[in-house]
Amino acid sequence: MRMRLQLGERALPTDPDDDLASAITRITSIIDGRRVVALTGAGISTASGIPDYRSPDAPPRTPMTIEQFMSSPDFRRHYWARNHLGWRHMDAAQPNAAHHALARLQRAGQLTGVITQNVDMLHLKAGTRRVVELHGCYGRVRCMSCDWRTTRHRLADQLETLNPGFAARVAGRGAIEVAPDADVVVSDTAEFRMIDCPRCGGIIKPDIIYFGENASKSVVSEAFSLVHESAALLVAGSSLTVQSGLRFVRAAHRDGKPVIIINRGATRGDEFATHKVDHFCEEVLPRLACAE
């Protein structure tokens, strides 16, 4: 089982490929008659207003690790204060043309499902079925001790009661910078109040795989099943910097299956790609869905 590790690598700036017509023709010829599984990363959601970590234009970001979250009440308070603001932005986000294109490919019978590294639930909002959320999702909360669970909406009501006016005060200071994992960049969190698990008093956290945390064995197994069932792998919007995504590319390549990569900038999986398109997912995928 691999952990989700931050490697601190970002793709170097590149110019997008300009001959999309040829790229679509090439991809279509490769996947024609094949059932395809998609592996998606943060780059597919940037057009929905959710930033990523490693695209050529992304600012440097330092996400919280599982070690920090579990070891320090101060870290947890700081995280939950940020999340109390940021999850609302993610909850309000809507699928873009790339998400809808994959949903159309599935309705047409060509896409078997989606393995996503994103926690934004946008594939589900777009109507895609059989979505494997490799890193969890922002909409659930669970206890690290007894596995008690609740929704992020219900927790928000409790946190708002404990911290009346907190969101309004922060918003009144001007624009806030939204981070990719359902939180925001804000420093004034010392007075924020958090709750513990109502069942056992344990630590609760979003049902999101933090950097350094193991992904669920059952989730990883389900993702590999999708890869094995499919005849080709389509990577959309992932730099494949972390092993949690790269392993599926290697598995498909090892099995002799075509690997298509659509991403801005270089990826760690480029050497395994049957075809690579350096461009924006929201521009390539809708054309691909129309071509099929």
| Residues belonging to the active site | 135
- What burial letters (b/e) apply to 202-223, b meaning 16+ CB within 10 Å? bbbbbbbbbbbbebbeebbebb
Q: Is 245 annotated as a binding residue?
A: no
Q: Is 120 annotated as a binding residue?
A: yes
Q: Is 58 annotated as a binding residue?
A: yes
Q: How far apart are CA 229 and CA 251, in angstroms?
A: 12
Q: Is 59 annotated as a binding residue?
A: yes
Q: Is 46 annotated as a binding residue?
A: yes
Q: Is 164 annotated as a binding residue?
A: no
Q: Is 143 annotated as a binding residue?
A: yes
Please, are residues 215 and 1 in contact by the beta-carbon 8 Å criterion? yes
Which secondary structure element, helix H or strand E, spans residue 254, and what is its range? Answer: helix 243-254
Q: Residue 266 corresponds to which tokens in the numbers above?
A: 């270089």
Which amino acid is residue 109, in one-letter code? G
Spatial CA neighbour of 49 closest among 285, 278, 238, 282: 282
Q: Is 61 annotated as a binding residue?
A: yes
List binding-site positions for NAD(+). Answer: 41-61, 117-120, 237-239, 263-265, 281
List binding-site positions. Answer: 41-61, 117-120, 143, 146, 197, 200, 237-239, 263-265, 281
List binding-site positions for Zn(2+). Answer: 143, 146, 197, 200
